[in-house]
Amino acid sequence: MGHYIKVEKGVTLFVEDLGKGDPVVFIHGWPLNNEMFEYQKNQLINKNYRYIGIDLRGFGKSDHPFNGYTYDRMADDIRVVITKLKLKKITLAGFSMGGAIVIRYMARHQGYKVKKLLLISSAAPQFTKQPDFPYGFTKEEVTKLIKNIYQNRPKTLNEFGERFFLDPIDDQFRMWFNDLCLSASSHGTAFSAKALRDENVQNDLSKIKVPTAIFHGLQDDIVPYQRVFQLKDGIKNSDITGFEQSGHGVFFEELEKFNDELFSFLKD
């Protein structure tokens, strides 16, 4: 079942809502949509969980407004969805940019209705290199990425996707993956990349009070594994699960292990 939920005047989000039981709310990464979690969704439903997948504004089947691509606004959108669906005892999961957004949600909305937090390949506390953290993309590289989006978005996203997985993926999967990326609006893709470049959730980490799992690929070329130690240091009740044979796409590259660890975390 799909819901179309109005989060502010002129902006409606698409939310996939399937199964019954404790809800697991998934927030996708850049520049994807909730369909990236296809290989978790079916397993969750079969194990009596409720899958809630939100397409962020600008992405997937949600509206594509020209404004609102800050972490604050996207966190507020999540709050509206949770309130309107009357969700409680949520496990909130965020992938990559979605990981940074759910961290902002936890701080900005005091963890409203969330009992557990899952950070997957999270682009946090900040996506870009810092003076005390020489790993990952520079701000200049992200600025160039944004420029390239405006000039040739399909080529740019395909090249980004080539860094997403540790090993080459088959042509059929790549076609599916690229289609997810291209279903986003061009402006939403560019503006949210600016948020990735500029925003920082470091000060939000200490406000997270729920058990938190950190899933991350040891071979991640987009958000280097070294980021997990910043998250672990900042979030008191957190644990790291590393995926030795994965790059950024842990949800697919080590699918069986990922799903096993997911259900272990949900049951604890």
3-state SS assignment for residue 124: coil
3 is catalytic: no
3-state SS assignment for residue 39: helix
Give the active site residue among 96, 121, 122, 192. 96
Its sign, for the CA torsion 238, 240, 241, 247, is positive
3-state SS assignment for residue 138: coil
Q: For 2-267, give the CATH class.
A: alpha beta
The span from the CA of 29 to the CA of 34, in Å, is: 9
Give the active site residue among 55, 216, 220, 238. 220
Identify the H or E element spanning 212: strand 212-217
User: Domain coordinates of the chain in residue numbers?
Assistant: 2-267
96 is catalytic: yes
The span from the CA of 190 to the CA of 160, in Å, is: 13
Per-position pLDDT tens, the chain of length 268: 899 999 999 999 999 999 999 999 999 999 999 999 999 999 999 999 999 999 999 999 999 999 999 999 999 999 999 999 999 999 999 999 999 999 999 999 999 999 999 999 999 999 999 998 899 999 999 999 999 999 999 999 999 989 999 988 899 999 999 999 999 999 999 999 999 999 999 999 999 999 999 999 999 999 999 999 999 999 999 999 999 999 999 999 999 999 999 999 999 7
3-state SS assignment for residue 243: strand
64 is catalytic: no
Give the active site residue among 63, 121, 122, 248. 248
Does residue 31 have a cis peptide bond before it, meaning omega lies within 30 degrees of 0?
yes
